Structures are given as C-alpha cells and as structure tokens.
C-alpha cells in the first residue's frame, strides 16, 4: 500500500520514518522542501502538492500545525480533495478543532473519501520511538482498517467516537494537563512564599490524593528552574484556544481553562512562549515575588 | 507516658483508639460527652476540661474542626495553657490556618510548652487503619521525640519545616486536589456536551500526562453519579478558606483556588455541602445541561 504523508515537521518526520521502517511506500509533501530531505533520501517519493499526493495514494496522513492548515491542505487549491480517489482514507493526526475535523470530513465524504481524526499525545520522543498515544474519531469500520498501521506510530490507538472525537479527547487531555500544572504552581508558590520549601511539599504530598503525572514530571522542572521543552507554551495556547472555541460553540463554560489561557498569554508577552508549559509557574512567581526553587 | 487527647470526632476517635491499642494511657476530653463513651469504656480517663487534661499529661494531642476551636481549647478559659506543665508538648493534628498554629505556639512557648502542628491526610478509613499521612511543622528535636508516637496513627510523618509548615503543606495538598477535581470536571463535561462519552475520555487519557490520583479515584464516582463522601465539600470549603486567608496575608494571588471556592459555595447553596468533593462536577453539569455519566 502507498501512503501519502503531508507535514514532515518535528512530529511528522519521525512518524513517517517509522512507517517506512515498517515497509510502507510513502509519497511525501511539505510546504518546506528541506523537511523532506531525509524521507526522500530514504526512498520516499515526492508529491508536488496535496492533490498529487492524494492521486498517488490509497491512504493519506496529515500532521499539520492547526485547523486552518488542515482545511487548506484538504480542501484548498491543489488540496487532497482534488486528487483523492473514491474509497481512499484520510487520517488527520494533527491536533485541531473538532469542528474542523467534522467540516473537512463532510466535504471529503461527498467525494467518497473516508476520514479519521487521530491526534496524538506523547511529543517528539514518543514519535521517534513509535509509542505515541493515538486518540481516534470516525467510523469503527474505517478505524479497524487502519488500526495496525496506526500502531506502527503509536503504542495505543483508541477509537473515542465519531469524527472529531479524537480531537475532543485530546482537548480534554490538554485542559487537564494545563490546569494540573496551574494547580501545582499555585500550591508550590504559596508554600514557598510562606516559608516552606517547595521540594519538601512535593515530597510530602506526591504519594497522596494530590499526586499526578504532571506533579511527578513537572515539579522537578520547576524546582530546577529548567523550562526547556518538552511541550511549548505556544502549543498549549493553540490547544486551549481550540478548547475555548469548542466550549463556546457547545455552550459549556470552562472558566478555569480560560484563566490559564490568560496566564499563558501573559507569559507569551514576557517572551516565554517557547518554554515548556511547566514555565507557567513563573506567572505566579512574578506576582508573588518568590521562586519555587530547590 | 500519659497522653491527653482532645477532640474525639470522626477522625480523633479512631486515632485515639490506635494509641490505646499501642499501650498508651489516655486522658480524653470532648465538648460532646457521647463521643467519649467508647474511649472511656476501653480504659481512657476523663479530663473535665482542656486545662485538666493538660495538668494530667506529658503530651497533648488535639484533633478539632478549625482554627477557632484550636485557639479556644489551647488558649481560652480552662484551656491547655492553664494546665500544661513546663516541658510538655502539644501536637495539634487539626487542619487549620498556619497563622493560628504560629499564634498558639508563641503563647505556649512563653509557658515552656512546645508545640507541633501535624495535620493529616487520608480521611476516616486511614485514621481507622493507622495509615494517615502526617505533615508536621515545628522544631526537629521535638519532632524526633514524638515521631514514633505519630507512627502509631500514620504510615508516614514528615517534618516540613518550622511551626505552621504542616498546615502550609496540607493547604498546598488541598489546593491541588480541589483544582485537579475541577480540571477533571471541566474536561469531562465539555467532552460529554460535544458528544464523546466521558468514560471513553477517562480511559483514553488516564495513562498519559493528564493522569492523576484524583482522576483515578474520582472520575469513576462522577461516571456513576456517586457523590457519597469521602471528603465532604464543606470540609474542602474550610480548607480553601484557610488557603485564601493564608495567601492574602502572604501576598500571593491564588485565582484558580478562589474560583473553585466560588463553585463549592454555589454547590453549598444547592444543598450539596455534605457530598463528596467530586460532586464539584455538578457545578459544570448544571450550567452545561448535561451529566458526565456512563
């Protein structure tokens, strides 16, 4: 089977590499030609446009920054919709707004093209290792067709519901991660300001009900003042904006998410958008006039 | 050694019972005489007032609802300060404002009485089992004297810093727990409203960075609509108020904690103060017009 792969950025490149290692033939495309060098050197063929990629593939994978890029690549001029064969499948693995997944899927369906939304979590290291967690939305029979393929890139692939459900699940994940980082920040900065060592607090509470993967992964970064990404604040801002848009459209208040969004925007204004999202603690530290360090 | 034990409520009663099982002689006191029945039947002696308890003990333990009760029992009429011997130790195991711990300790110190604040986490089941997590503030040499005794009631006892530090650590714990519950609620209600099953979301994300002890312990309660405590909303309100007071005094903004406090107050107005704190999800459910159930 020939797979079209569009978007070979930080995530897409290692994901495409894992598919090639697994023996799939790839037709690749990216707006930045230099991102294709490695894939082409390893035997991938060049697709000159998304339409060209689609015309030469039974199955397409997109891994793009956000909703507008997916809409453009799928539905824009020389887009997938112009080249795709009837019966082909698009797996969009980008993290985007669920509403865009549904919108693109509806246009493709009218051309006889199936679509799954399949955003991932785990970041670059797990993309390289092929151990991403993949959250999928779409028809069960389409999911069944591609599950083995997805497991060349991830260690799990879970069907969460109809089209858009993968991105809804991803947004739920990102909401919890952002708020758990804020929770840790609020608690550690308060303790520090009233004279208790944040490392002591961390060690005292991590085994109880306050324990979390965020606390275990991110408190040590806070204590060391090490905000090298990891997952960048600017990417979390993108996800929270998609969550806020989705919530507004659905009529669900998400007041804490909105407030953490404001904190991340403040950090962006401070030039910290490229830091790991654990750098959120600095919003509190600046206001409190203390640092929650060892 | 004779231990004075004041406050035999839901937590104090099993804690006192564990000390008696360990062979300590107890002098007990509570404003509600019926709470003493079991301890007296098991051989504890009756103290007629906190001062009387203090006069007959080398070491006193208090387990009371909140700061005003500790202040009254320690410093009020017929309080501990009136009866305590020089060289005695008060271990206040109540969850109260750190400022009150420091205030009471200062008055007692002038009478030659040492004090530790030693709030616990784990709730009634762990109080019964003697497996509480005990967070301690005070002098290291005083902590060393009583650590073995504390371990008759808990599975861990950690010195977090000077007097008040146990309660600061407990407040940090309670902030994180409250916000992690709110994070889970915001995410699950949003997903439900946009048509993804909350149980699917839970299962898809619990193994990743969004995973937490709160998610594992409380998401199943939400999915079942089972809000039997556990830890009651009214008690979490008490802890958050102490956190907010402490933060205000220290000059630290804790905006998310304040917002969750408002949510819990809204639930209290709805008659839900006696429910488990996971019942917080109902704040979101009411506004969104959906329930995040199986």
The 10s digit of each residue's pLDDT in B87-126 is 999 999 999 999 999 999 999 999 999 999 999 998 899 9
Q: Which entry of A13, A126, A170, A272 is annotated as an active-site residue?
A: A170
In the numeric block, the tokens 């019966």 are attached to A87
Tokens of A109: 């369906």
Contact A207, B131 (CB under 8 A): no
Note the pLDDT of residue A189: 98
- Give pTM, 2 decimals: 0.96
Interval B187-205: pLDDT, tens: 999 999 999 999 999 999 9
Which of A137, A182, A188 lies nearest to residue B179, judging by beta carbons? A182
Give the list of residues 6+ apart from residue A75 with CB closer than 8 angstroms, or none.
A81, A104, A107
Q: What is the mean pLDDT of residues B6-22?
A: 97
pLDDT of residue B41: 97
Q: Which tokens belong to B90? A: 């008060």
The predicted structure's pLDDT at residue A34: 95
CA atoms of B292 and B290, how far apart (whole Å)? 7
What does the pLDDT look like over B218-250, one tens digit per residue? Answer: 999 999 999 999 899 999 999 999 999 999 999
What confidence score (pLDDT) does residue B247 get?
98
Q: Can A193 be counted among the known catalytic residues?
A: no
What band does A251 get if pLDDT is binned at 50, 70 and 90? very high
Number of helices and strands (H, E) in chain B?
A: 14, 9
* CA-atom Rg of chain B in angstroms: 21
Options B111, B126, B152, B170, the catalytic residue: B170
> Which residue in B has a C-alpha nearest to residue A156's C-alpha?
B204
> Chain A residues with CB inside 8 Å of B203's CB?
158
Averaged over B264-277, what is the pLDDT?
A: 98
User: What whole-number distance in Å separates Cα of residue A29 and Cα of residue B176?
Assistant: 45
Structure-token match 């309670």, residue found? B174
Spatial separation of the C-alpha atoms in residues B72 and A117, rounded to whole Å:
61
> How far B170 CA lies from chain A's nearest CA (Å)?
8
pLDDT band at B182; cut points 50, 70, 90 = very high
- What are the DSSP calls for chain A, one per residue? -EEEEE--STTHHHHHHHHHHTT-EEEEE-SSGGGGHHHHHTTPEEPSSHHHHHHT-SEEEE--SSHHHHHHHHHSTT-HHHHPPTT-EEEE-S---HHHHHHHHHHHHTTT-EEEE--EESHHHHHHHT-EEEEEES-HHHHHHHHHHHTTTEEEEEEEESTTHHHHHHHHHHHHHHHHHHHHHHHHHHHHHTT--HHHHHHHHTTSTT-BHHHHHHHHHHHHT----SSBHHHHHHHHHHHHHHHHHHT---HHHHHHHHHHHHHHHTT-TTSBGGGGHHHHHHHHT-----
Contacts (Cβ under 8 Å, ≥6 apart) of B194: A98, A164, A168, A246, A250, A252
List, for residues B100-110, the tens digit of each pLDDT value.
Answer: 999 999 999 99
Which domains are delineated in chain A?
2-162 (3.40.50.720), 168-288 (1.10.1040.10)
**Which pLDDT value is given to residue A237?**
98
Length of chain B: 294
Contact A129, A58 (CB under 8 A): no
Q: Residue B44: what pLDDT?
A: 98
Mean pLDDT, rounded, for A22-36? 97
pLDDT band for A23, please (50, 70, 90 cuts): very high
Asked if residue B192 lies in contact with residue B157, where contact means CB atoms within 8 angstroms, the answer is no
Distances (CA, A) of A292 to A280, B147, B177: 12, 28, 19
Whole-number Cα distances in Å, A96 to A70, A71, A166, A176, A230: 8, 10, 10, 17, 19
How far is CA B238 from its chain centroid?
Answer: 10
Which positions in chain B touch A203 (Cβ < 8 Å)?
158
- From B41's Cα to the closest Cα of chain A, the distance in A is 34
Three-class SS state of B125 = helix
3-state secondary structure A141-191: HHHHHHHHHHCCCEEEEEEEECCCHHHHHHHHHHHHHHHHHHHHHHHHHHH
- Which residues 6+ apart lie within 8 Å of B208 measured at CB? A121, A122, A133, A173, A213
Residue pLDDT, tens place only, A227-248:
999 899 999 999 999 999 999 9
Chain mean pLDDT for chain A: 97
Q: How much is the average pLDDT of A265-291?
A: 98
pLDDT number for residue B105: 98
State residue B198's pLDDT score: 98
- The pLDDT assigned to A255 comes to 98
Burial B257-278 (b: 16+ CB within 10 A, else e): beebbebbbebeeeebbebbbb
How many C-beta atoms lie closer than 10 Å to residue B109's C-beta? 12
Q: pLDDT at position A158, please?
A: 96
Give the mean model confidence (pLDDT) for residues A198-220: 96
pLDDT band at A249 (very low <50, low <70, confident <90, very high): very high
Residues of B in contact with A178 (CB under 8 A): 183
> B7 CA to chain A: closest CA distance, Å?
25
Strand partners, A62: A6, A92
Among the listed residues A167, A95, A93, A90, the one whose alpha carbon sits nearest the alpha carbon of residue B195 = A167
Question: What does the block give as tokens for B75?
Answer: 């410093």
Binned at pLDDT 50, 70 and 90, residue A196 comes out as: very high
Phi, psi (5° rounding) for residue A246?
A: -65, -40
B161·A193 Cβ contact <8 A: no
What percent of chain A has pLDDT above 70?
100
Q: Among A273-282, B43-52, B121-130, name the one with the lowest average pLDDT.
A: B121-130
CB contact under 8 A, A212 and B211: yes
Band of residue B39 on the pLDDT scale cut at 50, 70, 90: very high
Q: How confident is the model at residue A222 (pLDDT cuts 50, 70, 90)?
A: very high
* Residues 6+ away with beta carbon under 8 Å from A203: B158
């Amino acid at each position: 089977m020939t797979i079209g792969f569009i978007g070979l950025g930080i995530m897409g490149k290692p994901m495409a590499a894992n598919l090639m290692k697994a023996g799939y033939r790839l037709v690749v495309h990216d707006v930045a030609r230099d991102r294709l060098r490695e894939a082409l050197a390893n035997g991938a063929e060049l697709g000159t446009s998304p339409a060209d990629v689609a015309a030469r593939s039974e199955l397409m994978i997109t891994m793009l920054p956000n909703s507008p890029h997916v809409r453009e690549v799928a539905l824009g001029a020389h887009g997938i919709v112009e080249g795709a064969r009837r019966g082909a499948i698009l797996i969009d693995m980008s993290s985007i707004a669920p509403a865009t997944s549904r919108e693109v899927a509806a246009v493709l369906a009218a051309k006889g093209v199936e679509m799954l939304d399949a955003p991932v979590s785990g970041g670059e290291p797990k993309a390289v290792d092929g151990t991403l967690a993949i959250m999928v939305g779409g028809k069960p029979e389409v999911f069944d067709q591609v599950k083995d393929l997805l497991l060349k890139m991830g260690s799990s692939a879970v069907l969460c519901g109809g089209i858009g459900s993968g991105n809804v699940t991803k947004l739920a994940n990102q909401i919890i991660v952002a708020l758990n980082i804020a929770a840790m920040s609020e608690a550690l900065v308060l303790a520090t300001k009233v004279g208790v060592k944040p490392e002591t607090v961390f060690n005292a509470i991590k085994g109880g009900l306050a324990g979390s993967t965020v606390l275990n992964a991110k408190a040590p970064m806070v204590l060391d003042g090490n905000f090298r990404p990891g997952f960048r604040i600017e990417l979390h801002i993108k996800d929270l904006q998609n969550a806020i848009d989705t919530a507004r459209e659905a009529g669900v208040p998400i007041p804490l998410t909105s407030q953490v969004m404001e904190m991340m925007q403040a950090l962006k204004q401070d030039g910290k958008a490229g830091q790991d999202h654990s750098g959120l603690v600095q919003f509190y530290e600046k206001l409190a006039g203390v640092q929650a360090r060892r």
